[in-house]
Structure 1
């Protein structure tokens, strides 16, 4: 049987809120009281109510759009659906119970419910983090690939989704079998991994969890989006105005993604480390509830950043509200082609091709005479393609420049 250690003899290893509640009754009996004041519980309940409601609405809306419009059913959007599903499960399986606990000032579903709550929320939270890392890698690899992305190939994305769930299970199942354990967290209105036990067994698990489920995904995200921005800057010599606008847009998106990731998850990670390695009582129940609430806000923020700031989804959202077909636009093409797909930097293999680069720039509505001039060392090849059977359609100019040093 999987149980949490909440006896009075464990007060030296657990937080003050748990020890205070142990004198009133066992956690499994449902009489465990939190260490927050009624006002504090009310504030937490309001925050959790807001997070649960808007997280549920946002993620359900994403799933409705995905099911309603076939044009959204591309491989990379399937990965966005995986993020929304994991966030939706947090809103359904976790937030209502912590909300109810905050309104009543005590944990309501017993000891086994606490273990189940800690496992389910940890599983879905890590799936969301790993999926964000997989998403950034997919965008990076698609941009750097020498061939056009196949919008009908779901195999790679499906493997990424399966990997995100398998990876999360690898790190959330061990507490159920003795490597650390799940128990009350902070003031007692939520449950998670026990951050405060000073045993080698618990500390080793928390270190691994911090490195492989928080730091590694963050480094992958920063590396992939950093490379994406670097590739955008490389086209500034070919079309400075287009590159500057694209660079600013992508830079804004990257900064928002990284900042929200840090705001949601870094305080929680720091709190966990302080509770693990700091002296007993360093992290008070009142202070520990703030990082926990911030981590749950990711369920509201993720759909806004990764979906509704996406022009493809936004057009479909507008169409859904207006009960009409979505307006056609360049962003309605396969979303496997990232915004920088129009220009691609490729480093060849072998000593001769090490310094070779390829830039493809699409200039809409520009006559051939306005194609930027290249240096003497470059040999441009200009391909002008007009849209069929229309004089007012824009001209597409593709510029391919090769340089060897």
Structure 2
């Protein structure tokens, strides 16, 4: 900021319109992520604090109940615990940093911390979404199967959990190796995938991320639960689709 002010003074002395324009562009670029007022940052901090605290306590309670009550240790509940794990890790590894940044109105842990934050939150968010898709497919197979579900079948559930983490890694590691990147977003107090850069490299990644990490899981969930609804209507005699 001092250098920018000195540059502006030197430009005024030289009466250089071109130089002044360059300084203004530099100042605009340096403040491009500071779009919230102090009150706005405070509201964001309060919201993040509430979400982080409530999310941590809620998911921790799920883990405690799962560990203490053997009756809850069914295959389907392991998928739910996988979702709770990803949410709990967000509350531990992500929310505290964005909360601290919002209290100060700027990112506090440098470029490397920004990359780590963007990667970790993207990874854990996709894990939750894929786990929900796996959960909906498991429920679909159980309801539509001709035989009763095997309550001791942990192998398929474990495979679904592994798939959720591996699939998420496949789509969140590329920005670390040059296909797009992780950087500041919004008011500069959080970091994520670069959503704004208009290059072929970045746009191609955003499109693939949108298709394979949002559209595909959404379609799986919609199909599975849609079939659930149709099946339930058939069970009560209201749907001709299964006749």
* TM-score range for the pair, normalised by the shorter chain length: 0.7 to 0.9
> C-alpha separation between the residues in 2 aligned to 1:191 and 1:116?
9
Give the unaligned 5+ runs of structure 2. Answer: 1-25
* SS across alignment from 1:191: strand
Shift in Å, 1:44: 0.5
Q: In the alignment, what sits opposite 1:64?
A: 64
| Structure 1 residues 188 and 64, CA gap change in structure 2 (3 angstroms) | same
Computing the radius of gyration over CA atoms, which structure comes out larger, 1 or 2? 1
Q: In the alignment, what sits opposite 2:117?
A: 117
Q: Deviations over 1:187-211 (max 9, x none)?
A: 1000000111100000000000011
Q: In the alignment, what sits opposite 1:389?
A: none
* SS across alignment from 2:183: strand
The answer as to 2:56 corresponding to 1:20 is no
Q: In the alignment, what sits opposite 2:40?
A: 40
Shift in Å, 1:17: 10
| Structure 1 residues 83 and 18, CA gap change in structure 2 (3 angstroms) | farther
Contact 1:66 1:73 in 2 (8 A): yes
Q: In the alignment, what sits opposite 1:158?
A: 158
Shift in Å, 1:147: 1.1
Contact 1:20 1:35 in 2 (8 A): no
> C-alpha separation between the residues in 2 aligned to 1:199 and 1:161?
34
Give runs of aligned pairs for residues 154-233 of structure 1, distance below 5 A: 154-233=154-233
> C-alpha separation between the residues in 2 aligned to 1:152 and 1:18?
61
Taking only aligned residues, the RMSD between alpha carbons, in angstroms, comes to: 1.8
| Structure 1 residues 21 and 98, CA gap change in structure 2 (3 angstroms) | same
Shift in Å, 1:215: 1.0
Shift in Å, 1:146: 1.3
Give runs of aligned pairs for residues 222-301 of structure 1, distance below 5 A: 222-237=222-237
> C-alpha separation between the residues in 1 aligned to 2:196 and 2:236?
52
Shift in Å, 1:18: 8.5
Q: In the alignment, what sits opposite 2:88?
A: 88
Q: In the alignment, what sits opposite 1:105?
A: 105
> C-alpha separation between the residues in 2 aligned to 1:165 and 1:219?
19
> C-alpha separation between the residues in 2 aligned to 1:55 and 1:106?
24
Deviation >4 Å, runs of 4+: none
